[in-house]
C-alpha cells in the first residue's frame, strides 16, 4: 500500500532532507514515489504553497529499476549526475547515442518526464533554467557550474523572448526559495542570471510588437509575465538594498554562507568582531552591486516597453495590452488612455484591428472598462457605430475579449449596458452556452435569412431589428 508523506521543507530541515531523497529517487526514474501536491520548483507550479505531499511505496519493480541503473553509477548520486549530464548534452546539441537514457524519471520533478526539458538539439533559456531547478531540488548543486555556463551563453543567443522571461521567472523563484532548497550558497549566482536575463529581454522585447494576429495572445501572455518579473525583481532589489531579507538572510548569500548561522565565523570569531564586520560588509556590498545592476536592467526593459507602447506599428492587441498595463502601473495618464482608446476605436478604423486592440486591453486589465467611464463610453460609441455586417464579422473576437471579465464583473458591466440601452438587466446578463462553432453557424444563418428577406422585398424587417440591443448583449455572451 502506498504511504503518504506530508513535508514542510520550507521550515523544517529534516523534512527538507526527506524531500530531497524522494525527489532524487523520482528524478532517476526509480518509481518509488511521486509528488502529489505542493510546490514543484521544476514545473513551476504551486510555488505559493508551504507543505507538500508525496506518495511512495517500495515494490519489487523499484528494486528492479535500481538494478538496471547500476551501469550508470554505484550510487543514486552518481546516477543523478549521469542523468543531468545527459540532459545537459541533449540541450547543448551534443547528443550521445540516440535520445534519452532509458529509464529516466517520469514524475513531476523528472527532467525526462511530464513537463520535462524538451528533447531538442539546441538549448533554450527556460529549458536550462528548468535544469538548474532540477539540480537544486535533488541536492546536486555542485553540478551547477557547467549548466550555468551553458545558460549564460544561451542568454546571448536565445531569440525567444518568452523563453527568456519564463526562464528568468523560474530562476528568481529559485532564489526566493533558496532556504527551502538549501541553495543559499548559489543565491548570488541566481540573481546574476536574472539580471542578465533582464538585459536580454530588453533587447528582444521589441519582437513582441511584430507578431502575427494569431500569435498576439501568446505575446500578451509574455508581456504579463515580464511585468510580473519586473515587479518581483524590484522587490528583490529592495531587500538587497537593505542588506538583509525578510527571512534574516544576508544579501548575497545565506546566513550559513556568510558564516553567521550560529553567531560565529568559520574560524570561531564571534559575530560582531572585526572579521565579522568584514564578512557582513562584503555580503551587503555584493547585494548592493546586484541591486544596482538589476535596477539598470529593469529600467532598460521598462524603457523598451514604453517605446513599443508608443510605436504606431505595434500589433493592435499588443498595443492595447501595453496601454492597459502602463495605465495600471501609473505610467500612462488618464487622458492619454482615453485618447488612445478613442483613436483606436474611432469611426473609420479597421473593425478587426479595433477589436484586437480592445481584446488586448481586456486581456491585460479587464476591469478598466468598469472603473474608467470614459473608456466605457468610447467602447460603447465604437460598437454603436459599426455597420451590421462589420459587427457580425468581429462578433466572435468581441465575445472572446469580454471573457476575461470575472462573473461578478460581467454582472456589473451588464447593469451598465442595460442602463445605457434601456434594456432590462435580466435580458443582458444571460449565460449563453454557445461554442465558437455554434456562433459561426448562427451568424451564417443570420446572413442567409437577411438575404432571403431582402430578395422578397422585406428588407424593412431587417431594418426594424434593433442593433443597439445586440450590441448591449455582447458582454453577456462573453460569460459563456
Residue 464 has pLDDT above 80, yes or no: no
The helix (H) or strand (E) run that includes residue 52 is strand 52-56
Res 352: pLDDT: 87
CA pair distance 266, 100, nearest whole angstrom: 43
* Confidence label for 136 from pLDDT (cuts 50, 70 and 90): very high
Mean pLDDT along residues 461-467? 55
Residues 19-45 as b or e (16 or more Cβ within 10 Å = b): bbebbbbbbbbbbbbbbeebbbbbbbe
Indicate if the pLDDT at residue 357 is higher than 90: yes
Indicate whether 203 pLDDT > 60: yes
CA 379 – CA 122 distance, rounded (Å): 45
User: For residue 35, what are the β-bridge partners?
Assistant: 54
3-state secondary structure of 137: helix
Q: Is residue 180 scored above 60 in pLDDT?
A: yes
For residue 127, the model assigns a pLDDT of 92
Q: Which residues, at least 6 apart from 465, have a Cβ–Cβ distance to it below 8 Å? A: none
CB-based contact 308:226 (threshold 8 Å): no
Q: What is the pLDDT at residue 61?
A: 92
Res. 381: pLDDT tops 70 = yes
With residue 56 as reference, give the H or E element that holds it. strand 52-56
Q: Is the per-residue pLDDT at 209 higher than 80?
A: yes
Distance between CA atoms of 154 and 175, rounded to whole angstroms? 20
The pTM (predicted TM-score) of the whole model is 0.74
Does residue 254 surpass a pLDDT of 60?
no
* Structure confidence at residue 170 (pLDDT): 94
List, for residues 1-11, the tens digit of each pLDDT value.
788 889 888 88
Any idea which residue has 538549501 for its cell?
Answer: 182
Convert the pLDDT of each residue in 323-337 to its tens digit: 999 999 999 998 898
Higher pLDDT, 399 or 318: 318
Handedness of CA 218, 221, 223, 225 (dihedral sign): negative
Alpha-carbon distance of 363 to 353, in angstroms, equals 15
In the β-sheet with 52-56, what is the strand arrangement from edge to edge? 3-7, 52-56, 33-37
Strand partners, 45: 40
Average pLDDT value over all residues in the chain: 78
Task: Summarize the confidence of residues 104-120 as an average pLDDT.
Answer: 40
Q: In this structure, what C-alpha cell is assigned to residue 275?
A: 572579521
Range with the poorest average pLDDT among 26-35, 75-84, 91-100, 193-202: 91-100
Evaluate if residue 466 carries a pLDDT over 70.
no
pLDDT at 273 over 60: no
Among left, alpha and beta (phi > 0; psi -120 to 50; other), residue 365 is: beta
What is the DSSP-derived secondary structure letter of residue 377? H
In whole angstroms, give the CA distance from residue 290 to residue 283: 11
Amino acid at each position: 500500500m502506498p504511504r503518504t508523506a506530508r513535508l514542510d521543507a520550507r521550515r523544517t530541515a529534516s523534512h527538507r532532507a526527506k524531500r530531497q531523497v524522494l525527489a532524487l529517487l523520482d528524478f532517476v526514474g526509480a518509481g518509488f514515489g511521486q509528488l502529489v501536491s505542493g510546490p514543484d520548483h521544476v514545473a513551476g507550479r504551486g510555488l505559493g504553497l508551504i507543505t507538500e505531499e508525496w506518495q511512495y511505496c517500495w515494490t519489487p519493480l523499484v528494486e528492479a529499476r535500481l538494478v538496471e541503473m547500476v551501469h550508470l553509477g554505484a550510487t543514486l548520486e552518481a546516477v543523478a549526475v549521469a542523468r543531468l549530464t545527459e540532459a545537459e548534452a541533449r540541450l547543448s546539441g551534443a547528443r550521445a547515442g540516440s535520445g534519452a537514457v532509458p529509464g529516466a524519471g517520469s514524475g513531476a520533478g523528472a527532467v525526462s518526464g511530464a513537463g520535462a526539458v524538451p528533447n531538442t538539439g539546441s538549448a533554450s533559456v527556460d529549458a536550462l533554467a528548468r535544469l538548474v531547478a532540477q539540480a537544486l531540488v535533488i541536492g546536486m548543486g555542485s553540478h551547477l557550474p557547467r549548466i550555468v555556463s551553458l545558460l549564460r551563453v544561451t542568454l546571448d543567443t536565445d531569440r525567444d523572448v518568452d523563453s527568456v522571461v519564463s526562464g528568468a521567472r523560474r530562476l528568481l523563484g529559485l532564489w526566493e526559495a533558496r532556504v527551502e532548497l538549501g541553495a543559499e550558497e548559489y543565491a548570488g549566482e541566481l540573481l546574476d542570471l536574472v539580471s542578465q536575463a533582464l538585459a536580454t529581454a530588453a533587447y528582444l522585447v521589441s519582437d513582441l510588437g511584430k507578431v502575427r494576429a494569431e500569435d498576439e495572445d501568446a505575446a500578451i501572455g509574455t508581456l504579463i509575465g515580464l511585468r510580473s518579473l519586473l515587479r518581483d525583481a524590484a522587490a528583490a532589489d529592495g531587500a538587497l538594498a537593505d542588506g538583509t531579507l525578510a527571512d534574516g538572510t544576508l544579501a548575497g548569500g545565506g546566513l550559513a554562507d556568510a558564516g553567521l548561522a550560529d553567531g560565529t565565523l568559520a574560524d570561531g570569531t564571534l559575530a560582531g568582531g572585526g572579521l565579522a564586520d568584514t564578512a557582513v560588509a562584503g555580503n551587503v556590498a555584493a547585494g548592493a552591486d546586484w541591486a544596482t545592476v538589476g535596477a539598470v536592467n529593469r529600467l532598460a526593459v521598462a524603457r523598451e516597453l514604453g517605446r513599443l507602447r508608443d510605436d504606431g506599428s505595434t500589433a493592435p492587441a499588443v498595443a492595447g495590452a501595453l496601454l492597459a498595463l502602463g495605465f495600471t502601473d501609473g505610467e500612462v495618464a488618464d487622458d492619454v488612455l482615453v485618447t488612445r482608446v478613442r483613436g483606436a476605436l474611432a469611426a473609420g478604423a479597421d473593425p478587426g484591428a479595433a477589436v484586437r486592440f480592445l481584446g488586448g486591453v481586456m486581456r491585460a486589465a479587464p476591469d478598466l472598462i468598469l472603473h474608467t467611464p470614459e473608456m466605457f463610453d468610447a467602447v460603447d460609441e465604437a460598437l454603436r457605430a459599426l455597420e451590421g455586417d462589420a459587427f457580425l464579422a468581429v462578433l466572435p473576437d468581441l465575445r472572446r475579449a469580454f471573457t476575461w471579465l470575472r462573473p461578478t464583473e460581467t454582472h456589473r458591466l451588464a447593469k451598465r449596458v442595460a442602463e445605457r440601452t434601456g434594456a432590462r438587466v435580466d435580458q443582458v446578463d444571460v449565460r449563453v452556452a454557445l461554442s465558437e462553432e455554434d456562433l459561426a453557424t448562427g451568424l451564417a444563418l443570420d446572413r442567409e435569412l437577411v438575404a432571403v428577406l431582402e430578395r422578397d422585398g422585406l428588407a424593412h424587417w431587417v431594418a426594424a431589428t434593433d442593433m443597439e440591443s445586440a450590441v448591449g448583449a455582447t458582454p453577456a455572451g462573453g460569460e459563456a
